[in-house]
Amino acid sequence: MKQITLPGTDLRVSRFSFGTASLLRVGSQRERHRLLAAAYDNGFTHFDTAPYYGFGVAEHDLRAVLAARPEATVATKVGLYSPAGEQQPAPLVVLRKAVGKIIPAVSRPIVDWSVERARVALSASLRRLGRERVDLYLLHEPELHLLDTDEWLRWLEGERDRVRWFGIALNTARLGPFVQEASPLAPVIQTFDSTSAREADIVVNAGRPLQMTYGYVSAARQEERFDINALLGGALQRNRTGSIIVSTRKIDRLAQYGDIAARSDTGDS
């Protein structure tokens, strides 16, 4: 799979990045590890995760893959934390998420925008990932008015030994203020987009290239039928400069993403 340099950074990532938000649904830890390793073998060199994904399980699962493939890059996040912490065993996490469908408070994320909590969270994420430095550290669904921008910026700039690049990961409903005020917390923007509504135009209209986008398949699922090849080919044509986060629970589908990327980058999509 073709790699690109993420605009505004020196970070080399694959055209499709592998998202781990639903990794826990794959099954056993062995099955999850097999899927992650197969993703890399099929050209995914960048992985997107967060402490809230699987309540810490997703970060921990990535550890073995990243250890065996030190050239792979990884993004994790800060600001949203797991109820009852990120050290819960996977079966308990599954139970908590199931109960959360009936009682939302059981699985609702804890929101904390204090730098003190973030400092501890970064250390914990690095331990789970088995890395000394994270390639991309993203504020997870932030709201600009809740942040002390100067304090966060001083801290992130001071963490260059542990944070290669930082930015924000959020849906477009919260993105406006960061773009309008040209927030220094957002040198990298990861945001929702679709080929129909083109939500990420808020970034493009501000004169910025698209960097990390996601949501194309989930948006299309609201329609009765869609062609995954045409959909993601169109997404790659829309986000020509960055990387698109996708996911699957089936190993045999991974090669399809590489084929789609190859056709798109040669103009055959």
* pLDDT, tens only, 50-62: 999 999 999 999 9
pLDDT of residue 267: 55
The first and second tokens of residue 166, run together, are: 């930082």
Better pLDDT: 38 or 100:
38
pLDDT of residue 100: 84
The first and second tokens of residue 47, run together, are: 């992985």
Q: Stretch 178-184: mean pLDDT, rounded? A: 96
Type of residue at 33: H
Q: Stretch 197-202: mean pLDDT, rounded? A: 95
Would you call 53 a catalytic residue per the annotation?
Answer: yes
Q: Stretch 260-264: mean pLDDT, rounded? A: 87
For residue 48, what are the β-bridge partners? 19, 75
In this predicted structure, the answer to whether residue 224 has a pLDDT above a threshold of 80 is: no
In this predicted structure, the answer to whether residue 99 has a pLDDT above a threshold of 90 is: no
| Least confident segment among 46-60, 80-94, 127-141 | 80-94
Scanning the structure block, which residue is given the tokens 């869609």? 226
pLDDT of residue 269: 44
In this predicted structure, the answer to whether residue 144 has a pLDDT above a threshold of 70 is: yes
pLDDT of residue 168: 98
pLDDT of residue 221: 80
In this predicted structure, the answer to whether residue 238 has a pLDDT above a threshold of 50 is: yes
pLDDT of residue 266: 64
Q: In 114-232, where do the E strands start and end?
A: 134-140, 163-170, 189-192, 212-214
Type of residue at 71: E
- Using pLDDT thresholds of 50, 70 and 90, give the confidence band for residue 43: very high
In the chain, the domains with their CATH numbers are: 3-265 (3.20.20.100)
Q: Which of 52, 53, 137, 257 is catalytic?
A: 53
**pLDDT > 70 in the chain, percent:** 97
Beta carbons of 76 and 49 less than 8 angstroms apart: yes
Better pLDDT: 106 or 238:
238
Beta-carbon contacts of 200 under 8 Å, excluding residues fewer than 6 positions away, are 172, 191, 192, 193, 210, 213, 239
Count Cβ atoms within 10 A of the Cβ of residue 217 and give its class: 0-12 exposed, 13-18 middle, 19 or more buried.
Answer: middle
